[in-house]
Structure 1
Amino acid sequence: MWAVYVAEAEKYDKGLVESWKGDMEGMLIFAGLFSPGLVAFLIESYKKLSPDSGDTTVLLLAQISNQLAAAANGTAFTILPQAPFTPPTSSLVCNILWFVSLGLSLTSALVATLVEQWAREFMHKADMRSAPIIRARVFSYLYYGLKRFEMHMLVEITPLLLHASLLFFFAGLVAFLIPVNTVITVITAILLSVVAALYLILTILPLNYIDCPYQTPLSGPLWRFARWLHPGSPPDPGHSIATGQTEIMAEAVFRKAVSDDEERSSRDRKALIWTMKSLSDDNELEPFIDAIPDVLFGQNARRSIVYTDHIQALIDDPQVRLLDRIRTLYKSCDTGLLTSEASSRRRISSSSNMGGGKSGNSQ
C-alpha cells in the first residue's frame, strides 16, 4: 500500500519539481539577457542626472571671451552667478524607473536560483530513505510543508517580478524619449499601451474560463483572492481537501475536468473519436478494441449507458466506422503474419466486440 503511494507521490513530485525548475531556468536565461541591455540604457541615461562637463566648459570659455572683450573695450565685466543644476524631470523619472527595473530583474534571478535550490533539496530529502512507509511519510510531510508555506504561490509570483521589471523598463523608455521626439514618444506609448492591455486580458481570462490556456503570473494570485472573497463564485470553486486552503488553479482545472456533467461527456466522445482516427496500425488498434468490453461493462458486469453512447458514436461516425475497423482487424488474423497466440488473442477480441457492437446497434 505504501509502495503504491510512494510511486504515485514520487511521480507527482518529480513532475512538479521539474516544471518549477524549467520555469526558473527560463527566467534566469531571460534575466541574464535583459539585465545587460538595461544596464546599457542606464549608462547612457544616468549622465543626465549630473551637469554635463562639456556644457560647463563652453560656459567658462564664453565667460573668458566676454571678459577679454570687456578688457579690450575698457568696460567692466561682471560674472553672473551660475544657476544650480537641476536635472530634467523626464530624466529623473526615466532613471528611477530603470533602476527599479534593474533591481527587480536581479531579484527575480536571485529568487529563481533559490527556488531551484529548494526544489533539489526537496527531492533529496524525499529520497534519503528506502523503506516505503518512511518515504511515504517523508513525501507527505514535505509536500504539506510546501502547501503550508505557500511555495506554489511563491513560484507563481516569482515571474511577476520579471514582468514588473519589463513594465518599468517600458515606462522608463517612454520617459527617456519625451525630450528626444514627441512623435516617437507617442507611437511608443501607444504600442506599449496595447501590450499592457493584452497582458491584462490574458490575466483576467483564466478567472472566468478555467480551461483557458492563457494566463500570467498574476492570474493565480488573483484567482485565489477572488475565491477567498467570493467562495461561491464560478467556475465551481472550492477548497483543498487535504489542507482546507483555497485551492490553486491547477486543482480547480483537475476537478473541473473530471466533474460529471454533459460537457465532460461531450469531451470524452470527441477524445475517443480522435483516438480512433489516430490509430492507423492494427497493432495500435488492438489494445483499444480489447478494452471496449471493460469500458462498457466494468467489473460489475453492468452496462454503462454513458459509454454505450460513446461506442455508438464511434460506430455511427462516418470517418471512424468502428465495426468496419473491427472486421478488418478480424480478417488480419488470417494473413499469416501473426503468431498463433497473437492471432488467437486478436480473433477473440475482435469477434467479441463485433457481437457487442451488433448488440449495441439492436438496442
Structure 2
Amino acid sequence: KLWTVYIDEAERYDKALLEGWRRDMDGMLLFSALYTASLTAFVIESYKTLREDPQDTTVSLLTQISQQLASQSNGPPESIGELNAFQPLLSSLICNTFWFISLVLGLTCSLLATFVQQWTRDFIHKTTMRPSPVLSARILAFSYLGLRRFGMHTFVDVIPILLHASLFLFFAGLIGFLQPVNAPLMYLMACTLFVFALVYMSLTLIPLISLDAPYRTPL
C-alpha cells in the first residue's frame, strides 16, 4: 500500500513537471521557427553590405576612364589609379555580427528544445514500466535523482534565456541596420529598444521585491 501511494504521488508530480516542460518546448519551437525565418530574411539583405558591390566597382572604373579621356585634350593621358580597397561600414559590421549571433542562438534554442522533448519522452517511457511496485518506485526515484544530479531543471531554464538574448541582439542589430538608412528611424528604434529593456528589467526585479508578483522572466 505504501509503495502504491508513493508511486501515484511521484507519477503525478513527474507528469505535471514533464508536461510543463513539453508545453514550454512546444512554444519555444514554434516561436524560434517563426523568429529565425524572419531573421533569415533580414540577414540575406544585410550580409550584402559586407562585400563590395560589383556594380559599384564598374561605375568607379568607368568614371576614372571618363576622366582620363576628358583630360587628354588638356595634356598627356593620365594612368588610371588603383581603386580604393573596400571597407564595410562599422554599422554594417555591428548589425551583421549581432544578427548572425542571434540566428545561431535561435537555431540552438530549437535544437535544445527538441532534445528536451526527446529526453522527457525517454523519462516517461522508463518510469511507466511496472514490473513490481517496489522496482517501479526505485526506477522513479532513480530517474528523478538523475534529473536533479545532471541539472535538467537548469538546462530547461537556459533555453528561454538564450532565446531572449537572441531577440535582444536582433533589436540591437536593427539599430545598426537603420543607422545608414534613416537616422530618425534609427533613433526611434533605439528609444523603443530602451523602453523594452526597462520593462524587461522591471519584470525581472519586481518578483524579487514582491514575492506575490505574478511576473517572471528567465533571469
Specify if TM > 0.5: yes
Tell me the residue number matched to 2:97: 96
Q: Quote how far apart the aligned CAs of 1:203 are.
A: 1.1
**SS of the residue 2:65 aligns to:** helix
5 Å matches for 1:184-333?
184-218=185-219
Note the alpha carbon deviations across 1:227-252, whole angstroms, 9 max, x for none: xxxxxxxxxxxxxxxxxxxxxxxxxx
- Rg comparison, structure with higher value: 1
Q: Quote how far apart the aligned CAs of 1:73 are.
A: 5.2
Tell me the residue number matched to 2:155: 154
In 2, the alpha carbon distance for the partners of 1:59 and 1:198 equals: 48
Contact 2:69 2:77 in 1 (8 A): no
Instruction: Note the residue ranges of structure 1 that are not aligned, 5 or more in a row.
Output: 219-363
**SS of the residue 1:82 aligns to:** coil
Q: Quote how far apart the aligned CAs of 1:149 are.
A: 1.5
5 Å matches for 1:102-121?
102-121=103-122
Q: Quote how far apart the aligned CAs of 1:77 are.
A: 1.6
5 Å matches for 1:31-46?
31-46=32-47
State the AA in 1 paired with 2:55.
G
Tell me the residue number matched to 2:87: 86
In 1, the alpha carbon distance for the partners of 2:162 and 2:41 equals: 20
In 2, the alpha carbon distance for the partners of 1:146 and 1:9 equals: 14
In 1, the alpha carbon distance for the partners of 2:23 and 2:69 equals: 71
Note the alpha carbon deviations across 1:115-170, whole angstroms, 9 max, x for none: 11111111111012331111111111111111112211111111111100000000
Tell me the residue number matched to 2:50: 49
Correspondence 1:180 to 2:194: no
Tell me the residue number matched to 1:351: none
State the AA in 2 paired with 1:90.
S
In 2, the alpha carbon distance for the partners of 1:36 and 1:153 equals: 27
In 2, the alpha carbon distance for the partners of 1:27 and 1:130 equals: 36
State the AA in 1 paired with 2:8.
A
Tell me the residue number matched to 2:59: 58
Instruction: Note the residue ranges of structure 2 that are not aligned, 5 or more in a row.
Output: none
- Structure with bigger helix share is 2
In 2, the alpha carbon distance for the partners of 1:66 and 1:89 equals: 31
In 2, the alpha carbon distance for the partners of 1:189 and 1:68 equals: 48
Q: Quote how far apart the aligned CAs of 1:205 are.
A: 1.7
Contact 2:65 2:80 in 1 (8 A): no
> Taking every aligned residue pair, what percent have the same amino acid on both sides?
52
In 2, the alpha carbon distance for the partners of 1:179 and 1:157 equals: 35
In 1, the alpha carbon distance for the partners of 2:104 and 2:187 equals: 27
Tell me the residue number matched to 2:139: 138
Tell me the residue number matched to 1:270: none
In 2, the alpha carbon distance for the partners of 1:86 and 1:6 equals: 66
Q: How many residues align?
A: 218
State the AA in 1 paired with 2:168.
L
Q: Quote how far apart the aligned CAs of 1:64 are.
A: 2.2
State the AA in 2 paired with 1:161.
L
Q: Quote how far apart the aligned CAs of 1:80 are.
A: 1.8
> RCO (CA 8 Å, sep 6+): is it higher in 1 or 2?
2
Tell me the residue number matched to 1:274: none
State the AA in 1 paired with 2:18.
V
Note the alpha carbon deviations across 1:240-269, whole angstroms, 9 max, x for none: xxxxxxxxxxxxxxxxxxxxxxxxxxxxxx
